[in-house]
Amino acid sequence: MLNISNNQLNKKIDIAEFKSGKKIMNVKYYKYFNRFLLTAAIIGFIVLFLPWTQNITGQGIVTTLKPNQRPQHIQSQIPGRIEEWYVQEGDEVKAGDTILRISEVKSDYFDDKLVERTNDQIKAKSSSVIAYKDKVEALNRQISALKSEQNLKMEQTRNKLLQSKLKVKSDSIDLEAAKTNLKIAETQYNRIETLEKEGLKAVKDVEEKRLKLQETQAKLISQENKYLASKNEVINAKLELSRTIAAFADKISKSQSDMYTAQSSGYDTQAQVTKLENSYSNYKKRNSLLYVTAPQNGFINKVLTGGIGVTFKEGAELVGIMPSKYDLAVETYVRPIDLPLLHVGEKVRVQFDGWPAIVFSGWPNVSYGTYGAKVVAIERFISDNGKYRVLLAPDDSDHTWPEAIRVGSGAKTIALLEDVPIWFELWRQINSFPPNYYQPEDGKSSSIKDKK
């Protein structure tokens, strides 16, 4: 009843005397309940000011820290046919252990002695290369001999030419002497003929002088013939010199041509030897690929191409192997909106599938069954699922991760962010605001606390 009148009925009438009033006013249960509600309200109000750790949750899987420690599929570099298996699933293998043996499926490699026959071809071609080198050396010696002979022949011809030129000079001097003698003989003959006409000389003397004049004329003609013959010898010597130069040039050119042909054939044969050596190395390497070996120590996970007599193409996955030694890590994915909140080296809590845990996301210190981790890498390009991949490594300062964890098992991650009051977190969740943006302690902070 509302007390809005000066005529207060509750002071005139005692409600507790009525039957209904006795059932209500004399029960202490509601008083205790009111006290409980008041206490709960006070505790709830105090709780609103307790610290709450903002976080980013994500689903991930257990992986390895290093790429060479992750499960891999062993492939064959060549096509083949499975002949024999040396392992079975679950076996432990060492690096270099033979896993299976295959055989060739291409007809080009069916010959069992292909490597030996290729080696014989290399030896034969190498002998041809040596023979061509010897031929080149022999032709070089022949060219040297021809050049030496050419020099001697040229010197001999030049000497002969010089002799011919000197003989021309000698004959020209003798010709001039013969002309002088002819003039003297003609003068003497004319004088003795004049004296004979005057009666001072006998006819006999005139006949002797005429005879001597004729002899002198004959000697002049003979000397002219010798002079012309000497000139011809000079021309013949020059011609022989030119012929010698041409002849030896032709011989030397022919020998050089043969030498270059031998060199070209030698180079071509050397190229064939190199090609055969390349083929020999390829065949030898291909033979080693007929035995598929383990690339590292590990365990055989699953045979992907089983059976005997099964053929496969190059690059086909034959068997899976898991390395025996590995460093565990967790890869998780975060939304693009949460990516600026994560930095390398920050703390993360991890809950592994199969390990019981009691998780209070806002109070990581009171959580049970979670393990510490830290961010070691953040992907710089978005993944196919529309999120960014984050790689986590064990935190050395926290509990050691369970040894029974296997690579590929699931994990739930909780990235710890800034500590805020619970009322602030409730207000943020109600308004769908993102967590506070902040930077690591060694960088500039942009959180609300720092702005204050």
Q: What pLDDT, on the 0 to 100 scale, is given for residue 111? A: 86
pLDDT band at 24 (very low <50, low <70, confident <90, very high): low
How far from chain centre, in Å, is Cα 160? Answer: 70
pLDDT band at 25 (very low <50, low <70, confident <90, very high): low
Tell whether the model's pLDDT for residue 100 goes beyond 90: yes
- Per residue in 354-368, pLDDT tens? 776 554 455 555 455
pLDDT band at 450 (very low <50, low <70, confident <90, very high): very low
Strands 298-303 vs 92-93: parallel, antiparallel or unpaired: antiparallel
Environment class of residue 57 by beta-carbon count within 10 Å: exposed (0-12), middle (13-18) or buried (19+)?
A: middle
Q: What pLDDT, on the 0 to 100 scale, is given for residue 271? A: 92
pLDDT band at 268 (very low <50, low <70, confident <90, very high): very high
Tell whether the model's pLDDT for residue 31 goes beyond 80: no
Cβ 256 vs Cβ 221: under 8 Å: no
Tell whether the model's pLDDT for residue 215 goes beyond 70: yes
- Summarize the confidence of residues 3-27 as an average pLDDT: 66
Q: What pLDDT, on the 0 to 100 scale, is given for residue 352? A: 86
pLDDT band at 299 (very low <50, low <70, confident <90, very high): very high
- CATH numbers and ranges of domains, the chain: 1-47 (no CATH), 54-69+326-451 (2.40.30.170), 72-104+290-322 (2.40.50.100), 114-286 (1.10.287.620)
- Per residue in 158-213, pLDDT tens? 888 888 888 888 888 888 888 888 888 888 878 877 877 777 777 777 777 788 87
- Per residue in 307-354, pLDDT tens? 898 999 988 899 999 998 888 899 999 888 778 778 888 888 888 887
The torsion angles phi and psi of 321, rounded to 5 degrees, stand at -135, 140
Alpha-carbon gap, residue 373 to 383, rounded angstroms:
22
Q: What pLDDT, on the 0 to 100 scale, is given for residue 444? A: 41
How far is the first Cα of the chain from the last one, in angstroms, to the nearest whole number?
51
Environment class of residue 357 by beta-carbon count within 10 Å: exposed (0-12), middle (13-18) or buried (19+)?
A: middle
Cβ 235 vs Cβ 160: under 8 Å: no
Which is more confidently placed, 347 or 1? Answer: 347
Alpha-carbon gap, residue 161 to 237, rounded angstroms:
5
Residue corresponding to tokens 């981790």: 373
pLDDT band at 427 (very low <50, low <70, confident <90, very high): confident
The sign of the CA dihedral 146, 150, 151, 155 is: positive
List the helix and strand counts (H, then E) for the chain: 7, 14
- Per residue in 119-149, pLDDT tens? 999 999 999 999 989 999 998 999 999 888 8
- Per residue in 251-267, pLDDT tens? 889 988 999 999 999 99
Angle (deg, nearest 10), helices 203-288 and 114-197: 170
The per-residue pLDDT of the chain, averaged, comes to 82
